[in-house]
Structure 1
Amino acid sequence: MPEGHTLHRLADLHRRRYVGRPVAVSSPQGRFTAGAALVDGRVLERSEARGKHLFHHYGPDLVVHVHLGLYGQFGDEPRPVEPPRGQVRMRMVGETHYADLRGATACELITDAEAEAIHDRLGADPLRPDADPDRAWARISRSRAPLATLLMDQSVIAGVGNVYRAEALFRHRLDPQLPGQDLRRIEWDALWADLKDLLGDGYRRGLIRTLRPEHDPVGAPDDAPAGAQRSSSEEEGGGSARRVYVYRRTGEPCLVCATPVAHAAHAARNLFWCPTCQSGRKRGRRARAPVPGSRADREE
């Protein structure tokens, strides 16, 4: 699933490509036809991201809300416009470029009040200047839920997904099963600062890279073009030169201590950690090993 930095890159790209100009909006697939008709030809006034949500504001009570979900992709191509390929939920055509949305979990026209309601239920977004880490800390410090659950709870922290969860917890040697109420404030402050840095780096590169220099002999990759959306594999550090500590490295040696990286199902998602580096002060109930062949076992 695309994480928060991807949505912020898209919001900025659409700001440069389309904001302040009329946009032709259609739904070649047909599932967004009614909503597209109401904003077709209007000037896009604002493009913004909050967590994993993208909002296009076309005027009072005319907000296109997009959530990419697991498989969503928002293309970016220069004109001339080509015939739609595949199931294009929404097509935006501007003066110089066009964008096709495919596979999104949500693509809907909502009111300002509905957009505000989504904003209100989201937690602190590390990539937004208005983020309030104290609000997130208030939730975490009172919770008996494990950190592995809390970091993926979008009402606590908006924009962190499976990759950043695993990598941030490893970088701070935190047991994924440590209850939130047992996390020290100094540890939270360091974790929040690192999440800001990691997502900020992902935003700049268009790639998730979490290795510290001393653990990354390959060096930093070239940055992606501004606003470009990488494939899921590239986004998550996939390929033969993955630059992550534990995510999708089940059974491989930890880059710090050489202990095999562990993998288990946790709240229907996959969890990766080093049993040695992340041995905790206090543990909640252990995540169960995934059932062979199950969705969790396929290491999303």
Structure 2
Amino acid sequence: MPEGHTLHRIAGLHDARFSGAAVRVSSPQGRFAEGAALVDGQVLERAEAVGKHLLHHYASGLTVHVHLGLYGKFSESGLPMGEPIGQVRMRMVGGATDFGTDLRGPTACEVLLPPEVDALVARLGADPLRADADHERAGARIRRSRRAIGALLMDQAVIAGVGNVYRAEVLFRHGISPFRPGTSITASEWDALWADLVDLMPIGVATGRMHVVRPEHDSGAPSYAKDRPRTYVYRRQGQPCRMCATPVAHQVMEGRNLFWCPTCQPR
């Protein structure tokens, strides 16, 4: 599933290309036909992301909410666009520049009224990529919970936008075991984790890639995939830790794969 930086990157692209002008919205697949008709021809005022949720705000007060889920993807192209290929849930064309985009396979693509948008945002935790994020509230919630910090960082009601890669890597970077309960995380530890996410995630927005390994460690064993930057522990189970050579461990935590170094992140 795309992490929050991907949605913020898409939001920035759509805001630059489509906002400030009327856009044509359709649903070649048909599943979003009623929603598309509600916003077709309206002015897109702005696009933004909150965690893993993309919001297109229209001048009428309506908002199109998109959650990509596991399989959702936008594809961008110049105009004229060709005939839709595959199951295109939503097509947007026009705006301030001559671009179009097709959305395929999202978990959610729906039109929301303002109170529904407010309710959606209220359900989400602090987003490290937003200036209005309340990281102290998130920290207080973590310190009240006996759930493992590895699970809390993935809970979108606590921290919005952090996924499996950032979860594994930021905990490694701070030597924190993913199994420690939230009640054991000190305020200074949380402040340091949050500050690191605030530094790391904008790099993902700018480059489209999650760079998490410090320059002095960015050598040696290749990444888990040839087209991805190196990681410390993510998807490196059984391989030697870049810092201490202990084999990287793996198990499933609350339905998601978890990676950590038993030596660098002692319980």
Instruction: Tell me the secondary structure at the aligned position of residue 45 of structure 1.
Output: strand
Instruction: Tell me the secondary structure at the aligned position of residue 38 of structure 2.
Output: helix
Aligned to 2:179: 177
1:16 Cα deviation from its structure 2 partner: 0.7
8 Å CA contact 2:210–2:229 kept in 1: the answer is: no
Aligned to 2:237: 250
Give RMSD over aligned pairs.
1.4
Aligned to 2:163: 161
Instruction: Count the aligned residue pairs.
Output: 263
8 Å CA contact 1:89–1:102 kept in 2: the answer is: yes
| Pairing of 1:1-300 with structure 2 (within 5 A) | 1-94=1-94, 95-217=97-219, 238-239=225-226, 242-280=229-267
8 Å CA contact 1:151–1:157 kept in 2: the answer is: yes
Given the superposition, is the C-alpha separation of residues 43 and 60 from structure 1 closer, same or farther in structure 2, using an over 3 Å criterion? closer
Instruction: Tell me the secondary structure at the aligned position of residue 66 of structure 1.
Output: strand
Instruction: Tell me the secondary structure at the aligned position of residue 44 of structure 2.
Output: coil
1:208 Cα deviation from its structure 2 partner: 0.6
Instruction: Tell me the secondary structure at the aligned position of residue 7 of structure 1.
Output: helix
8 Å CA contact 1:5–1:203 kept in 2: the answer is: yes
Q: 1:124-159 CA deviation, whole Å, 9 max, x = no partner?
A: 000000011101011001110000110001111100
Identical positions, percent: 62
Rounded to whole Å, the distance in 1 between the matches of 2:254 and 2:4 is: 20
Give 2:25's aligned amino acid.
V
1:42 Cα deviation from its structure 2 partner: 0.8
**Worse overlay, 196-205 or 159-168:** 196-205
Structure 2 residues without counterparts, runs of 5 or longer: none
Give 2:265's aligned amino acid.
Q
Rounded to whole Å, the distance in 1 between the matches of 2:139 and 2:224 is: 29
Runs of 4+ with deviation above 3 angstroms? none
Rounded to whole Å, the distance in 2 between the matches of 1:242 and 1:130 is: 29
Task: Give the TM-score normalised by structure 1.
Answer: 0.85
Given the superposition, is the C-alpha separation of residues 64 and 180 from structure 1 closer, same or farther in structure 2, using an over 3 Å criterion? same
1:237 Cα deviation from its structure 2 partner: 7.0
Structure 1 residues without counterparts, runs of 5 or longer: 219-235, 281-300
Instruction: Tell me the secondary structure at the aligned position of residue 201 of structure 1.
Output: helix
Rounded to whole Å, the distance in 2 between the matches of 1:112 and 1:237 is: 42
Rounded to whole Å, the distance in 1 between the matches of 2:67 and 2:175 is: 31
